Amino acid sequence: MTTIDDVARDAGVSKSTVSNVFSKKRPISKEVSNRVLESARKLEYKPNYWARSLVSKETKIIGLSMQGENTKFGSFHLSLINGVHQTCYKTGYRLLINSVSNEYLNQVENQTSDPVDGEIILDPLVKDRRIEESVKKNRPVVVIGRPPKAYEARVSYVNNDNAGIARDVTRYLIGLGHRRILFLNATENSTVWEDRKLGYQAAHEEAGIPMDDKLVLANDRSSSALLYGLEQTARHLTQDSSITAVIADSDKTALGVYQAAGSRGCRIPEDLSVFAFSDDSSYSPEFQPPLSGVRMNSEALGEEAAKLLLEHCSGQSRSAKRVLIGAELVHRNSCGQASIR
């Protein structure tokens, strides 16, 4: 491996001159500059990333932090990543998928600081260690979704209006005559769970319909999203014949709802209406009829998050900002008038 010393020797100049030819941080005569560049090319020299980072205190890498153990990216995350990457790409930042198993991380010998200038945090929890740590270390951070209340004013974030969306969806279903709507809400302890519940609640209140807390569930992640939808729907439909609609937190969950309905001869939308917080697989033939859902515009979510983070990394902005990304309800054929079963 060629080092800066090799180049300096070859070009007959000092290390700092070589350094400055590359960094352009102080003027170097055309003549010397060319000589150095020539040597560098000849020796195939490239400044060492880590040595440079060590002293400059920046890595030009931003991290993407997934929530929980062993998580996989879904189609929602895919466009989100594309959005983030898009922004990184132009600005010379690299994107690190920053998630390593706790099993590995918990070994002392694997402990290290993170090799990133800042971090984008996915799927924030009501109490989220990742956010707490970033703030404590004073490291730039942007949350996708709403941060915990205590951090809302201190941390930048990009979000959909989840409460508003949930209210609109619920209002729509109530408008169709549904009175008891099962809500297969998001992951336990996530802030999005809270927000969506608020919206669900608001729609009930404005319609003067009593809301049953027991109808608002949480995904404990003990099994797959599909099973969450399948099992909970089956259980509640059996126990409670007054339920005429289900709101599902993702397309996979909605698929579980479809299966549960199907296996008990319950027709969609005649007997049961279904709405999902997703617009990714809604078209899939597994969904018969096509699933009504919400388009969240996740690519924009990612793009804006990256922009905010880079502003913070470059020190352009120290203040916590908030960006709201619009979302639209997409109506297909999975919802209908409530009917008594």
98 binds its own copies (CB under 8 A): yes
Q: Could you tell me which stretch among 1-9, 80-88, 130-138, 236-244 binds DNA (CB under 7 A)?
A: 1-9
205 binds, among DNA, its own copies, none (CB under 5 to 8 A by kind): none
100 binds DNA (CB under 7 A): no
**What does 27 interact with, of DNA, its own copies, none (CB < 5 to 8 A by kind)?**
DNA
Among 27, 109, 208, 340, binds its own copies (CB under 8 A): 109
Contact flag: residue 46 with its own copies (CB under 8 A): yes
Select the span of 5-13, 61-69, 161-169, 175-183 touching DNA (CB under 7 A): 5-13
**Binding positions for its own copies, 258-297, rule CB under 8 A:** 283-286, 290
The β-bridge relationship of strands 156-160 and 273-276 is unpaired
72 binds, among DNA, its own copies, none (CB under 5 to 8 A by kind): its own copies
Q: How far is the CB of 300 from its own copies (least distance, A)?
A: 14
Amino acid at 218: A
- Tell me: does residue 30 bind its own copies (CB under 8 A): no
Q: Are 193 and 218 in contact (CB under 8 A)?
A: yes
CA distance to 40, 45, 105, 214, 225, per residue, from 6 (Å): 9, 9, 38, 71, 57
CB closer to DNA, 51 vs 150? 51
Cβ closer to DNA: 14 or 284? 14
We find the least distance from the C-beta atom of residue 59 to DNA, in angstroms, to be 12
Q: How far is the CB of 29 from DNA (least distance, A)?
A: 4
Q: Does 224 bind its own copies (CB under 8 A)?
A: no
Residue 111 binds which entry of DNA, its own copies, none, CB below 5-8 Å type-dependent: its own copies
Q: Is 108 in the site for DNA (CB under 7 A)?
A: no
Q: Which is nearer to its own copies, 168 or 279 (CB)?
A: 279
Distances (CA, A) of 263 to 92, 238, 260, 334: 52, 12, 5, 17
| Using rule CB under 7 A, residue 40 touches DNA | no
Q: Which of 27, 29, 30, 108 binds its own copies (CB under 8 A)?
A: 108
Which residues of this chain interact with its own copies, rule CB under 8 A? 21-24, 37, 46-54, 59, 61, 70, 72-73, 75, 78, 81-82, 85-86, 88-101, 103-105, 108-115, 283-286, 290
